[in-house]
Amino acid sequence: MTGEERAGQEEVLRLSGVTKRFGALLANDNVSLRLARGEIVGLLGENGAGKTTLMNILFGHYVADGGSIEVNGEPLTPGSPGAALKAGIGMVHQHFTLADNLPVLDNIILGTEALFALSSNRRGARARIAQLGADFGLAINPNAAVSSLSVGERQRVEILKALYRNARILILDEPTAVLTPQESAALFDTLKRFSQTGLSIIFISHKLGEIMAACSRVAILRSGKLVADRSVESSTRGELAELMVGHKVASAKAEPQEAGPVLLSLENVLARRGSLALEDVSLDLKAGQILGIAGVSGNGQSLLADMVSGLLPPMSGALKLNGAELWHLSPAKMVAHGIARIPEDRHTEGLIGDMSVTENVVLESYRSSRISRRGFIDWAKALRFAADIIESYDVKCPGPEAKVRLLSGGNMQKLILGRVMSNAPSIVLANQPTRGLDIGAVNYVHERLLAARRRGAAILLISEDLEELLALSDAVSVMFRGQLSAPVTRAVTTIAALGLMMAGQGFGGEMRHAS
């Protein structure tokens, strides 16, 4: 029986005409969707298409402006995660909703007992978690603090949270973003086992391949509208891609190009922060080349990025610029040395939302003589500089005086690109530069990076998106538990091979379980 056949029989969920606005943005426009018992539906769409918003409405985080939701024929109380949970809906959020300092057990049983009970049955809970773990291959130590778990294990806890409550409908929001390709495949198997027990699953992704591998039916959102709801079997990859984006997409690809001299190098670097560490990391960035860094998040990429950003000094080893060792690192010094740095998180690290576009654009250059004199900033000059960036980087905003927090993610990223790339830097650090962007903005960022490469810049590209890495990088290194593999050139590697390395293969003797 396929999902569609079942859909007629046992409908467990029905969304009718769901509409949601955020200010001027129509995030969900009259979306209707059904889910049958034991069915796995893919919710496909670009970043910003409204997938997460729709699911947040279903789970009660948001209240829709219009439309209704029925679970098993009963209307669902809007705006209440408690009501959604009670109706048998479970959600694995993209940003895990776990308290890191508390044990797994506490995270799972929170809210499952009467709030005003005088005691809690922890022993019973432990047994049940062990049972669920055994049934579905999701074993986990209930006494471990969440902070000690890998991302893969944390996701397991999130899934257990839903199973522990006997969820009948499971929503997974971009669950593969934190997994290796092999782990993703294992997750799909687990999901299929769930569906065989009658669990219905909504699987959110912006990656076509995953939807096609895991789902029987796919619903496609574009700019908040449901543009397709069809069986996966009868669809081709190309059709779905076009439905998702609305037009044909030509994605950027790096053309082969001669490597120049080494501009920046790390030699046997050791660094530590909290429980994370970089162990004996070496790399060379060559002019006109992009070096990609792959890896499951939390394996030390952030330390590497912070070191090149000037935020984290190495405990031993050396950071060399054009062969000369750099001492007393600081972000300002890195800027002065012509290193362009695109941070991982636009909102918390890249920009200051409550300041204007102009104030953000001069954040790295306000001390230079072209902006300020004797400690006083020439705001007229800053304004002209901002107008230049807005123009040449195609930043859509009300004007240079507008507050940055009002900009869309793509325009924020263009603003950052403008800030760091406007004076033709010789070295570029791009840390997750396209995360959360829609395809248009992704292509824009890629084009800019490739343009810098053509110009002869040396680029360090850190990404969790293997397709992106393979499209842009001349070579890719994999980070695993603070170690960095030797670079493999693009021509000789595959996504599957990189996936195995991300799980620890080839990291001499350090082959512990990686999930």
Partner 1 sequence: MRLESRSTRPLALLVGYPLIALLFASLFCAMLVMLAGASPFSVFGLMAKGAAGSQFAFLETLTRATPLIFTGLAAAVAFRAKLWNIGGEAQLYAGAVMTAVLGTGALQLPTPLLLPILIIAAMLAGAVMLSVPAFLKTRFGVDEVVTTLLFNFIMILFVSMLLEGVLKDPAGLGWPQSKKVISEAVLPKLIAGKRLHFGFVIALAAALAVWIIDRKSALGYEMRAVGFNAKAARFAGIPVNRVLAKTALLSGGLAGLAGFSEVAGLKGNLTLDLSPGFGYTGIVVAMLAMLHPLGVVAAAIFVAAVFVGADAMSRSAGVPSYIAQVMVAASLLSMVTAMMLTRFRIRWN
Partner 2 sequence: MQAIEILFTASLWAAAIRIASPLIFATLGELICERAGVLNLGIEGIMTAGAFSGWLTVYLGGDLWLGVAVAALTGALFGLLHAVLVVPLGLSQHVTGIGITLLASSLSYYIYRLALPEVTSPPKIEPFQSWSVPYLFDIPIIGEALFRQTPLTYLAFAAVALTAWFLYRTPLGLAVRTAGENPMAVEAQGIDVNRIRIGAVIAGSALMGVGGSFLTLSAFNSFFFEMVNGRGWICIALVVFGSWRPGKALLGAVLFGAFDAYQLRLQQLAGGYVPYQLFLMLPFVLSIIALVIMSRRAAYPQALMTPYRRGER
Binding of partner 1 by 351 (CB under 8 A): yes
User: What is each CA distance from 357 to 248, 258, 360, 372, 387, in whole angstroms?
Assistant: 32, 37, 5, 17, 9
Q: What angle do CA 86, 204, 241 make, to 5 degrees?
A: 155
CB of 410 to partner 1, least distance (A): 18
Any long-range contacts for 359-363 (C-beta under 8 Å, 24+ apart)? 360/404, 360/415, 360/419, 361/385, 361/386, 361/389, 361/400, 361/415, 361/418, 361/419, 362/386, 363/419
Which of partner 1, partner 2, none interacts with 112 (beta carbon under 5 to 8 A by kind)? partner 2
Residues in the chain: 515
Segment 11-30, which members bind partner 1 (CB under 8 A)? 22-24
Closer by beta carbon to partner 1, 310 or else 314: 310
Burial (CB count within 10 angstroms: exposed 0-12, middle 13-18, buried 19+), residue 126: middle
Binding stretches for partner 2 (CB under 8 A): 22, 56, 59, 61-63, 80-86, 91, 93, 95, 97-102, 106-107, 109-120, 161
CB of 380 to partner 2, least distance (A): 33
Say which residues have a Cβ less than 8 Å from residue 80's Cβ, sequence separation at least 6.
60
Closer by beta carbon to partner 2, 110 or else 424: 110
Segment 366-405, which members bind partner 1 (CB under 8 A)? 366-367, 372, 375-377, 379, 405
- Would you state the structure tokens that stand for residue 191, as one six-digit string? 């999901």
Binding of partner 1 by 459 (CB under 8 A): no
CB of 395 to partner 1, least distance (A): 17
Binding of partner 1 by 350 (CB under 8 A): yes
CB of 27 to partner 1, least distance (A): 13
* Pairing of β 372-373 and β 376-377: antiparallel
- Would you state the structure tokens that stand for residue 25, as one six-digit string? 């943005």
Largest CA-CA distance found in the chain, in angstroms, rounded: 76
**Which of 197, 348, 423, 489 contacts partner 1 by CB under 8 A?**
348
Q: Which stretch binds partner 1 (CB under 8 A): 29-37, 107-115, 346-354, 388-396?
A: 346-354
CB of 346 to partner 1, least distance (A): 9
Closer by beta carbon to partner 1, 79 or else 133: 79
Which of partner 2, partner 1, none interacts with 95 (beta carbon under 5 to 8 A by kind)? partner 2
Cα–Cα distance measured from residue 296 to residue 507, given in angstroms and rounded to the nearest whole number: 14
User: What is each CA distance from 240 to 217, 219, 222, 373, 473, in whole angstroms?
Assistant: 12, 10, 11, 55, 26
**Which of 36, 125, 214, 335 contacts partner 1 by CB under 8 A?**
335
Segment 61-90, which members bind partner 1 (CB under 8 A)? 63, 78-79
**Which of 151, 245, 277, 352 contacts partner 1 by CB under 8 A?**
352
Whether the CA torsion 41, 194, 501, 497 is positive or negative: it is negative
Binding pattern to partner 1, positions 284-323, x when CB under 8 A? -------------------------xxx------------
**DSSP states of 159-176:** HHHHHHTT-SEEEEESGG
**Using an 8 Å Cβ cutoff, are 373 and 398 in contact?**
no
SS3 261: coil
Question: Binding residues for partner 1, per CB under 8 A?
Answer: 22-24, 63, 78-79, 309-311, 330-335, 341, 343, 348-355, 359, 363-364, 366-367, 372, 375-377, 379, 405-406
